[in-house]
Amino acid sequence: MKKTRSQRGPRGTGGQPSRRPRSPGAGWAARPPHRSPASVDQPMQPLQIEALSHDGRGIGRVDGKACFVRGALPGEQVSWRRESSQRNFDQGSVVEVLVPSPQRQPPGCEYYPRCGGCSLRHLDAGAALAYKQQNFIADIERAGLSVEQWLAPLQGGSDGYRRRARLAVQKTRDGRVELGFRNAASRRIEPLQHCRVLTPLLSALLGELPSLLAAITLGVVEVELTESDGAEPVLLVALSAAPGELLNDSGAARLESAGATIAAALSLSPAQLQLWWRDHGERDFRPLGAASTAHIALSQQLLLACRPGQFLQVNGAVNRAMVEQVLALAGGGELAVDLFAGVGNFSLPLARRYRRVIAVEGLPELVASGAANAAANGIDNIEFHCADLNRPLPKTLLDAPRRERIDLLLIDPPRSGAAAAMDWIGATQAKQILYISCHPATLLRDAGQLLAAGYRWRRAVALDMFPHTAHLEALALFERD
């Protein structure tokens, strides 16, 4: 799931029958809403694919005009179907792979490529990461920027890595409940019984969820799944109600009974499967029944409490490696400031390296959770503050750090970046700035401002948080001369 601090709103429902593609290119075609001119939606002559786009499509050229083809890889020759034609480019999908790339691999998933959860399962994961990093390097160069040193990318397993996922829900005409990710290139849902990128336990849970939702007549638009760490992991199943649907005590009891049955089917104790509910329009989920605190591990010594709805890095292995990389780059010292701190993903580890940590987050409930996490881990040198980081920061927030020099300023913003905070960040004259980015385009924008303020881009690391997708995250280190 791409990183965001806001909740996704309700979406429409729909679906299509599940079927296995008949050939390496089958299943890529998506019927566009309208087709003109006449050449659109007609099979085209074989196309040589030269590159991979930022969103994972192959790029070829016909008479100099760029053609973006879903399902094609660099070095391949494909037959393809044009689905839309613009003045400067065409878009389409693979009909048949005529000459395959040596990097092409069997997807290993019966729902691919219809399911939109993955877009690059047909490409070796290591090769996919290399293409994504190359595209990012090219973007940096086009922006007139440069990185002094690229460190080794951080990558975990390509399957079984997602410890959290949000699934859409729909009811079929005959009353069956289906859950899944959105279809590629459409708003329809691909019904799933299992999922290769989810942890094995969450994948097994997926097939049991229709029976849970069938226990009530209320409409549910989304289900969020989370698996905690530990020898006895806890599964958090959070249901978001459709507009106008209110859960009464009888409905809650039926859900709890169905949840206990599912836990037994998965060889879990009742305490290892928690049910949570959120009324339409509400921000927070509430537990149904008793719910002990579930945790994720940042290291062997540090645990974070996790609950539905709060931001969580979905890839635990890469997140732990990222925290270790941050600590390796951070010089240590007196003061570290963590902006967009969330519940303490970086603040808690940094507290072991700095005498004082100031953590700033925009949501009061996350500030409270961060403080609770620090206390639970026996850490008393973090100060948690609430401030709207999407607006220019108040001068009072600037005054406090100026009393002592900031050794490290860490930024972990959402996709929109840290534009509103950049003037404040530059004025602090922090010795080091570590920027964790989930959207390279906004990183480049903010990096330009840091370089103009006298910083140099010393190190960069590509982060493969979402294998089998075109999404890339990055870690950047800036230091003053």
Question: What pLDDT score was predicted for residue 13?
Answer: 36
- Cα distances (Å, whole numbers) of residue 299 to 65, 111, 173, 316, 324: 50, 34, 48, 10, 9
Q: Pick from 61, 67, 101: which is nearest to 81 by CA? A: 67
432 annotated as a binding-site residue: no
Cα 368 to Cα 362: distance, rounded to the nearest angstrom = 11
Neighbour tally for 290: CB within 10 Å: 9
Question: What pLDDT score was predicted for residue 41?
Answer: 61
Question: What pLDDT score was predicted for residue 253?
Answer: 96
Backbone torsion region of residue 144, taken as left when φ is above 0, otherwise alpha when ψ lies between -120 and 50, otherwise beta: left
Same fold: 25-103 with 130-157+297-480: no
- Cα distances (Å, whole numbers) of residue 301 to 48, 298, 348, 379: 52, 8, 10, 12
**Could you tell me if 347 and 409 are in contact, meaning their C-beta atoms sit under 8 angstroms apart?**
no
In the predicted model, residues of the chain with pLDDT beneath 70 are: 1-43, 185, 394-404
Task: Provide the CATH number for the domain formed by 164-227+235-291 in this structure.
Answer: 2.40.50.1070
What pTM did the predictor assign?
0.88
Tokens of 91: 């878009």
429 annotated as a binding-site residue: no
> Can you give the residue ranges of every domain in the chain?
25-103, 130-157+297-480, 164-227+235-291
Give the pairing type, strands 149-150 and 58-62.
unpaired
- The CATH class of the 130-157+297-480 domain is alpha beta
Rounded to the nearest 10 degrees, what angle do helices 440-452 and 125-142 cross at?
A: 40
55 annotated as a binding-site residue: no
CATH topology for 25-103 is OB fold (Dihydrolipoamide Acetyltransferase, E2P) (2.40.50)
Residues 6+ apart with CB under 8 A from 472: 129, 132, 133, 135, 136, 440, 462, 463, 464
Tokens of 6: 């806001």
361 annotated as a binding-site residue: yes
**Could you tell me if 163 and 195 are in contact, meaning their C-beta atoms sit under 8 angstroms apart?**
no
195 is catalytic: no
Question: What pLDDT score was predicted for residue 5?
Answer: 41
Question: What pLDDT score was predicted for residue 38?
Answer: 45
Element (H, E) at 401: helix 395-402
Neighbour tally for 87: CB within 10 Å: 5
| Residue 141: strand, helix, or coil | helix
Measured in whole angstroms, the distance separating CA 169 from the mean position of its chain's CA atoms is: 20
